[in-house]
A and B are shown apart, each in its own frame.
Chain A
Amino acid sequence: MTELKNKNIPNPEFDPEQTRRALEQSIERVNAVIMTLEEAQKTSEEVFEWVVSV
C-alpha cells in the first residue's frame, strides 16, 4: 500500500496482487471500525435511569 501511495502518479497501473493485499487490509480495518461503532451504539439500559440533577 505504501508503495502505491508513493508512486505519486495520476494514472497508476494497479498491480492486481499488490492491490488485492492492500484491499484485504482495508477490509479488515473497515470491519473493525464497523464493529466498534455498532458496539458503541448499544446504549445500556442503566443510562436511562441516571439522574441529572446538579
Chain B
Amino acid sequence: MPPFFVVAPFSQEKLFEALDCECAVAEVSANRRAAYLSDYLREIGARTIVIENEYVDGDYLDDYASFYAKCFEKYPKTCKRIHFFATEVTNDDFKNIILNKADSGVVQRFAEGYLGFVVARPLPRAIIGRTVLKTYPPASGRRNYPCTKRYRVSLFGLGLEIDSLAYQEQDRALAACATVALWACFQRDRDLFQSLAPTPATITRSANRVLEDSRPFPSHGLKVEQVCNAIAAVGLEPEVIEVKPGIPLVSLLYGYLKLGAPVLLVVRIASNGRHALTLAGFSLNPSSVLSSEGASPSAGIPLVGQRIDEFYAHDDQVGPFSRLKVIPPAAPDGIVKFTGGWPNELIPEVVIIPLYAKIRLAYLEVLPWLKRLGELITIASLPGTFEWDLSLMTSNDFKEKARTGEIGVPQERLEKLLVEGHPRYIWRAILMRNAIPLVEFLVDTTAMTQSFPINQLWWHDNILKATIGQLLQVSLVEDPLKQLLTVRFFEFLRSTV
C-alpha cells in the first residue's frame, strides 16, 4: 500500500511521476497539459510538491458513477491530489506542520506559499482533473483575473486558501471541450449569481435534453443550442453574440469579464474545427496596444479594449490561464483573431456568456448611448486622447467603492447615490481624456432596448460640464441636438449641467 502522502522538491520529473495514476510516465510526458502545467508551476515559483495518494474528488466521482464504473475495464474510483508550495519543506517539516508541532511562523509561511493543486485522474490520457492554481502575479496591475474565486482547501486538517478558477481537461467520454468550458464558467457563476455548479456529467446530460443526431455519451461535442440549454439548466440566461465585423470584440469581452462573469468563447481553428474555451482574465496596458479591434471606422472615441493585448483562457487542450494574444484585424472591416497554444490562429465565431436573468440590456445595446454623448463632447470639448470604459458591475460594489473613494463621485452627489436604490447589476460608462475621467454614467441593466436606460450621470470635469451646458442652451440647434441624443437624453443631460 502506498504511503498516505509524499513530500518532494518540485521538478518536472516528480510532477509527471505524481500525475501517473493509470498510464505510464512516458504517456504523461506526452500529455500537452502536463507539460504546460510543469512550465506554469515553475513560473509561479513551485518549490515543493505534496502528493495525497488517495483523494476522493466529487467531480470525478460523479463521472465515475456515470460512466467508468460501468466499463468492463476496472478504473479506480479515487484520484491523487497534488499540492504545490512556494516554500521548501521536507517530509519531517510537513509532518510537524500537519500535527501542529511546528512553529506558528513556519505554518503561516507554508500556508502563504500555497500555490494550489491538481487532481490526477486514474484514466488513460485524460489525466488532468480538477485543477486550482494560483494566477500569475499582477504585473503592476496589467494582468487582471476578475473571474477567480476563493477556494478553501483542507490538507489533512490544515486549512489553505487560494484565489483561482478551477480547470480540467476533457475526457471525451462525459465531457468534450464545450462541457468543460461551461463547467469552469459555472464554478465562478455560482459565487457571482448564486446559480448551480454541476459536474461535467450533469452538464452534458442537461445539454442533451435537446436531442441531437449523436448520442450524449461518449461525448464528442455540443451544439451551440445545447450549450444554451445547459446554461438555462443552471438557472442563468445565455447571452449569445455572433462575432462579426463592426463588433468591438475585445471591449465587449472586457465589459463582461470586469464583473467577474467568465465568457465562453467559441473559436474556429484551421485543420481542427470549432473549439470552446473559457476566458477568465485580461491584460490591460496603460496605453493603446491595438490599432483597431474590429469596430467600424465611424465609431469615433476608442474603447478601453484597444489597451488589451491578451486574454487568459482555460483552454482544456492547453492549460489553465493560457495566454490568448489578440491580433488586430488586418483590414478596417475585419475582426480580431487570437494566437495561443495552437499552431494555427484562433478565429472567434461566437461569444456565449451565462448571465443572471435580469441583466437584460446587452453591451451592444448600451454602446449607442456612449456614441451619442461622445459625439456631443467631441463637438464641445478640448483636444486630447479620449477613451470610453464600459463594463458591468454590481451596484453594491459600486457603492462600496464610491464610499471609500476608489470610485470618484462629486461630494454633492455621493449621499444620494449611496442611499438610493439601484438595480443589482449596472453598466458603468466612463469617458476619460488623457486617462482623467471627464464624465460617467450608470445604466439600468434591467431596462428594455427601446427605453431610456441611463439613470445616473455626473461630470468630473467642471469646464466640460459648463461647455456642454452652454451647448445645450443654444436654442437654434435644439432640434439636431434632440435628434443626436434623443429627447429623453437631451432633457436628462440638461438636468445635469
Are B483 and A51 in contact (CB-based, < 8 A)?
no
Q: Which residue of A lies closest to B176 (CB)?
A: A53
For the complex, what is the distance from the CA of A13 to the CA of B481, rounded to whole Å? 16
Asked if B410 is an interface residue, CB under 8 A from chain A, the answer is: no
Distance A10 CA – B314 CA, assembled complex (angstroms): 49
Inside 8 A of B350's CB, which chain A residues have their CB? 47, 50
Bound complex: CA of A5 vs CA of B384, how far in Å? 10
Q: Which residues of B contact A19 (CB under 8 A)?
A: 379, 471, 474, 477
- Chain B residues with Cβ under 8 A from A50's Cβ? 223-224, 266, 274, 349-350
Indicate if the CB atoms of B273 and A53 lie closer than 8 Å. yes
Using known A-B contacts A43-B241, A54-B269, determine if residue A37 contacts B274 with beta carbons closer than 8 Å: no
Chain A hits for B177, CB < 8 A? 52-54
- Chain B residues contacting A26 (CB-CB under 8 Å) are 375-376, 378-379, 484
Q: How far is the CA of A50 from the CA of B227 in the complex (A)?
A: 10
Within 8 A of B (CB), among A1-54: 1, 4-6, 8, 10-14, 16, 19-20, 22-24, 26-27, 29-30, 32-34, 36-37, 39-44, 47-54
Assembled-state Cα–Cα distance A16/B474 (Å): 7
A4:B371 contact, CB within 8 angstroms: no
Which residues of chain B are within 8 angstroms of A48 by Cβ–Cβ distance? 223-225, 228, 240
A29 and B298 CA atoms in complex are apart in Å by 6
- A22 contacts which chain B residues (CB < 8 A)? 379
Cβ-based interface call for B385 (8 A)? no
- For A14, list chain B residues within 8 Å (CB): 380, 470-471, 474, 477
| B220 & A53 in contact (Cβ 8 Å cutoff) | yes
Partner-contacting stretch, out of B9-17, B132-140, B188-196, B360-368: B360-368
Residues 453-478 of B contacting A (Cβ, < 8 Å): 463, 466-467, 470-471, 474, 476-477
Of all chain A residues, the one with the shortest Cβ separation from B272 is A54
- Could you tell me the distance in whole angstroms from the C-beta of B319 to the nearest C-beta in chain A? 15
* Interchain Cβ contacts under 8 Å between A and B, 27 examples: A4-B379, A4-B380, A5-B378, A12-B380, A12-B467, A14-B380, A14-B474, A27-B484, A29-B300, A33-B296, A33-B299, A37-B246, A40-B241, A41-B241, A43-B241, A47-B240, A47-B242, A48-B224, A48-B225, A48-B228, A48-B240, A51-B273, A52-B266, A52-B275, A54-B177, A54-B221, A54-B275
Q: A4-B380, A50-B266, A53-B275 are in contact. List 19 more A-B contacts (CB 8 A).
A: A14-B470, A14-B474, A19-B474, A20-B476, A20-B477, A23-B483, A26-B375, A26-B378, A26-B484, A33-B368, A41-B364, A41-B365, A42-B242, A47-B242, A49-B224, A50-B224, A53-B222, A53-B274, A54-B269
Q: Which 7 A-B pairs have the closest CB atoms?
A: A53-B221, A26-B375, A54-B275, A16-B476, A23-B480, A36-B246, A48-B225
- Seen from chain B, the residues whose Cβ lies within 8 Å of a Cβ on chain A are 176-178, 220-225, 227-228, 240-242, 244, 246-247, 266, 269, 272-276, 296, 298-300, 317, 349-350, 362, 364-365, 367-368, 371-372, 375-376, 378-383, 463, 466-467, 470-471, 474, 476-477, 480-481, 483-484
